[in-house]
Amino acid sequence: VGDGARASVPPGEGRREPLTRPRILERALEMIDRDGIEGLSMRRLAAELDVSAMSLYNHVPNKEALLEGVAETLLAEIDLTGVELEDWTDAIRAGFRSFHEVLLAHPQAAFLIQTKPPATPGAMRPVELSLATLRRAGFDAQNALEAHWALVGYTLGHAMFQQSNPLGDFERGEGTLAAERALPPEDFPHVTEVLPEIANCDLGHAYDFGLNVIVEGLKAKLRKDSQRGLFQVAD
């Protein structure tokens, strides 16, 4: 009380910032981006935060909850402004492309979101918008859900598969020979043919291909269903 009544915490330079949940999650994501998911341990994370391992447990119940929190952080990073677009196909494409951009920016994001999907309001906002867009396009509740699952499944699966594609390793360094020894071209002509494509493909472009295919397929489905309704085609 001697040094000023309104004086708050002194801004001393050597001062350690207080441990908070957001700070923990932020640092955990940093570590995961840098060292991969295996590189993150409670003990190591604590060390990076200059704190004993057990301090973490004052802000997070356990490691699983920590990873769920990181997944939530990632989902909150998605730019959702694009889903306001008038044309529902543009809105869907914009929204899922934003999603995919986050997945490309954080190599382990797809893994985290798939294994520890949080059910918090923040994490459900993208789902709500996706379903709303599909409902507005004309799908009933069940088909909207199935269409949403197709889009989410594709997006997560594509990112994750790319991330660990075994064929992706082959073109690095002198890997080509190893690939051809393991997969004799006469038995695997089409895989062999496609190895160079894998090496220098643009992941964003490859993602867009499938996204467009799914959106076109959904449009066709909508057209067919509405025709069946109009003409009462008995079959």
Q: Which residues of 107-128 are buried (b: 16+ CB within 10 A; e: fewer)?
A: bbbbbbbeebebeeeebeebee
Q: Which residues of 145-159 are buried (b: 16+ CB within 10 A; e: fewer)?
A: bebbeebbebbbebb
DSSP for 156-169, written as a single string: HHHHHHHHH-GGGG
Residue from 209, 226, 227, 228 touching a copy of itself (CB under 8 A): that is 209
Dihedral sign from CA coordinates of 204, 207, 212, 215: negative
Which partner, a copy of itself, DNA, none, binds residue 209 by CB below 5 to 8 Å per kind? a copy of itself
Q: What would the x/- binding string for a copy of itself be over residues 174 to 203, using CB under 8 A?
A: -----x--xxx--xxxxx-xx--xx--x--
Which partner, DNA, a copy of itself, none, binds residue 167 by CB below 5 to 8 Å per kind? a copy of itself
Which partner, a copy of itself, DNA, none, binds residue 122 by CB below 5 to 8 Å per kind? none
How many CB atoms sit inside 10 A of residue 56's CB?
22
As measured in angstroms, the least distance from the Cβ of 8 to DNA is: 16
Which parts of this chain interact with DNA (CB under 7 A)?
Answer: 18-19, 40-44, 51-55, 57-59, 62-64
Residues in Cβ contact with 131 at an 8 Å cutoff, skipping those fewer than 6 apart = 144, 145, 148
Query: Does residue 165 touch a copy of itself according to CB under 8 A?
Result: yes
Residue number, 54 or 191, with CB nearest to a copy of itself: 191
Site stretch for a copy of itself (CB under 8 A), options 2-10, 15-23, 52-60, 123-131 = 123-131
